[in-house]
Amino acid sequence: MNISIIGSGYVGLVTGACFAELGNKVICVDNDEAKVALLKKGIIPIYEPGLSELIKNNVGKKRLIFSSSIKDAVKNSEVIFIAVGTPSLPHGEADLTGIENVAQNIALNMTGYRLIVEKSTVPVETGEWVKKTISTYVKRNIKFDVASNPEFLKEGSAINDFMHPDRIVIGVESNKARDLLVSLYKPLNAPIVVTNIKSAEIIKHSSNAFLATKISFINAISKICDKVGADVKEVAQGMGLDKRIGPSFLNAGAGYGGSCFPKDLDAFINISEKMGYDFNLLKAVKEINEDQREFIFQKIKKSLWIVKGKTVAVLGLSFKPNTDDIRSAPSIDIIKRLQEEGAKIHVYDPQSIEKAKAVLDKVHFCKDPYEACKGAECLLVITEWNEFKELDFIKVKKLLKRPLIVDGRNIYEPQKLEKIGFTYVGIGRGKS
Ligand code: UDX
């Protein structure tokens, strides 16, 4: 099939490269000409395992091209995916300016039937607006369909998530649109859920909101565990074996960050309010998540007594492992809070240091975890990168001024570390 993807950000690039890999001819479009020029040279502006190779391979086979012209893309593709950003406005509302712009541009350049698919995460009823916009701007009486096909890609495993999805959600209003999308996804052999457009839009927001709720739920439980001497890891294991609950997204810790959960929750709360429903549950989820950062700071303060003038070695900046993304990362807030209290910061992360340099001030960036530990009075783990799980703790103990570990992701076994002589503070491990 000839398809195009408008918006060559994270979602657009992964989607475009994967559709090309499945044998389609794909045009990835972006209005940032400098970005398109880099992509044409094979330089990929984001870090995602396997993406660069996939792009190179499909460009080589002439199934994937990059362009800054929506006109060419619309002319040459029957299916057009919109994958532009939908950032948060100050009150949490999703900014849909980019979507409207693209819809207008598609309408002005349509030469025959087109299927326009929302891929970006958008609030319910955006499909209606896209339809109205295209009807308003289209030159002649050209037929078109609008569909919603939300993405569920996780950063760090996006290609695998695309190729092996749990489900594909297709929100459509015509058989033609359904058949086009079903045949596009057929090679993946995954369950396809066909719904109306509004249901598909809500499936995306509610899936992310539900996952965020699971995280905040277990983080709330971690507070009770701390108070009574229970271990949240044992509690999560005991809960997760119930098939109705499931074991995933029950890791207590520094809480969620990234480009999706915080933004999507804000947008969902906002659109619900507009529809006349006060989504108190999600407001609490958000509050618990934000509070988790202060909770970790307070644990450090309680252990160190006086924070001012002490050095904290922070391991991990990215909002989760296997990505360089620091958007809404707990690390940034926790580091700033520690600095506010007068702490000195040593920090190491395998991927995110360059990005963090733009947002953190007066921080000593280190080349490995051991350099970070040197002379510090507390070792704080905020992101559970694999290399932090396998540290040489005898060496760490020698390097630290004081053998204190605050494990913000519960990656260590308390007894093992206590045996070596560390004071271990976890999240909901019943020790603090
Ligand atoms: C998420 C959704 O999973 C994906 O379907 C959607 O398309 C985009 O948003 P992503 O933001 O890449 O993907 O990360 P994910 O792996 O889902 O983790 C989200 C956050 O939750 C991370 O900050 C992670 O550290 C945190 N988390 C996850 C927990 O704190 N505890 C858990 O048990 C699981």
Evaluate whether residue 213 is within a structural domain.
no
pLDDT recorded at residue 158: 95
- Single residue among 139, 171, 204 that ends a domain in this structure: 204
Looking at the structure, tell me whether residues 273 and 195 fall in a common domain: no
Centre of ligand 1 from the C-alpha of residue 153, in Å: 10
Range 376-384 average pLDDT? 98
pLDDT at 139: 86
Mutate to test the pocket of ligand 1, among 51, 154, 218 (most ligand atoms within 8 A of CB): 154
- What value does the mean pLDDT take over residues 1-27? 97
The predicted model gives 164-173 an average pLDDT of: 98
Strands (E) located in 152-250: 168-171, 192-195
Cα–Cα distance list, 284 to 97, 123, 213 (Å):
29, 20, 9
Residue 29, helix vs strand vs coil:
strand
Asked whether residue 61 falls in the same domain as residue 174, the answer is yes
Sign of CA dihedral 132, 133, 136, 140: negative
Across 135-141, average pLDDT? 92
Residue 141 Cα to ligand 1 midpoint, Å, equals 43
Please tell me the distance between residue 15's alpha carbon and the centre of ligand 1 in angstroms: 19
pTM of the model: 0.94
Question: Of all protein residues, whose CA lies closest to atom 20 belonging to ligand 1?
Answer: 256
In a domain, 211, yes or no: no
Q: Tell how far CA 24 is from the center of its chain.
A: 27
Average pLDDT of span 315-341: 96
Query: What distance in angstroms lies between residue 251's CA and the mean position of ligand 1's atoms?
Result: 11
d(CA 266, CA 283): 9
- 76 shares its domain with 126: yes
In this structure, the answer to whether residues 270 and 307 fall within a common structural domain is yes
Mean pLDDT, residues 41-68: 94
Same domain, yes or no, for 15 and 66? yes
Catalytic residue among 225, 260, 373, 378: 260
Would you say residue 394 has pLDDT above 80?
yes
Question: Ligand 1 pocket, 215 CB below 6 A?
Answer: yes
Is the C-beta atom of 152 inside 6 A of ligand 1?
A: yes
294 plus 409 within the same structural domain:
yes
Domain's final residue, options 170, 204, 238:
204
Do 294 and 417 share a domain, yes or no?
yes
Q: Residue 104: name the closest of 93, 95, 116 by CA.
A: 116
Q: Is 408 in the pocket of ligand 1 (CB under 6 A)?
A: no
217 within some domain? no
Residue 351, pLDDT score? 92
Q: Which of 260, 322, 333 to mutate to test the pocket of ligand 1 (most atoms within 8 A of CB)?
A: 260
Where in the sequence is the domain holding 270, given as residue range(s)? 224-425
What pLDDT was estimated at residue 431? 57
Three-class DSSP category at 244 = coil
Residue at 399 is within a domain: yes
Nearest CA to ligand 1 atom 28: 249
225 catalytic residue (yes or no): no
Does 430 have pLDDT greater than 90? no
CATH number at residue 388: 3.40.50.720
Q: Give domain status of residue 321, yes or no.
A: yes
Measuring CA to CA, how many Å separate 159 from each of 79, 113, 124, 148, 318? 21, 30, 26, 20, 19
What is d(CA 117, CA 12) in angstroms, rounded to the nearest whole number? Answer: 12
Strand order in the sheet with 79-82: 64-67, 25-29, 2-6, 79-82, 114-118, 144-148, 168-171, 192-195
Residue-level pLDDT at 140: 87
* Claim to verify: residue 56 and residue 148 sit in the same structural domain: yes
- pLDDT of 47 reads 83
Residue 308 has pLDDT above 80, yes or no: yes
Is 169 a member of any domain? Answer: yes
Same domain, 331 and 200: no
pLDDT band at 75 (very low <50, low <70, confident <90, very high): very high
For the chain, the average pLDDT equals 96
pLDDT at 273 over 70: yes
How far does residue 256's CA lie from ligand 1's centre (Å)?
A: 6
Best residue among 166, 201, 251, 320 to mutate for probing ligand 1's pocket (most ligand atoms within 8 Å of CB) is 320
Check whether residue 162 and residue 299 sit in a common domain: no
| Residue 430 covered by a domain | no
Asked whether the CA dihedral 86, 271, 172, 114 is positive or negative, the reply is negative
The answer to whether residue 311 sits within a structural domain is yes
* 190 and 110 both lie in a single domain: yes
150 plus 298 within the same structural domain:
no
Q: Is pLDDT at 421 greater than 60 in this prediction? A: yes
C-alpha separations of 245 from 50, 205, 210, 236, 256 in Å: 32, 20, 12, 10, 19
314 with 380: CB under 8 angstroms? Answer: yes
The number of distinct structural domains making up the chain is: 2
pLDDT at 432 over 70: no
At 162 the pLDDT is 98
State whether the beta carbon of 85 lies less than 6 angstroms from ligand 1.
Answer: no
Mean pLDDT confidence for 93-117? 96
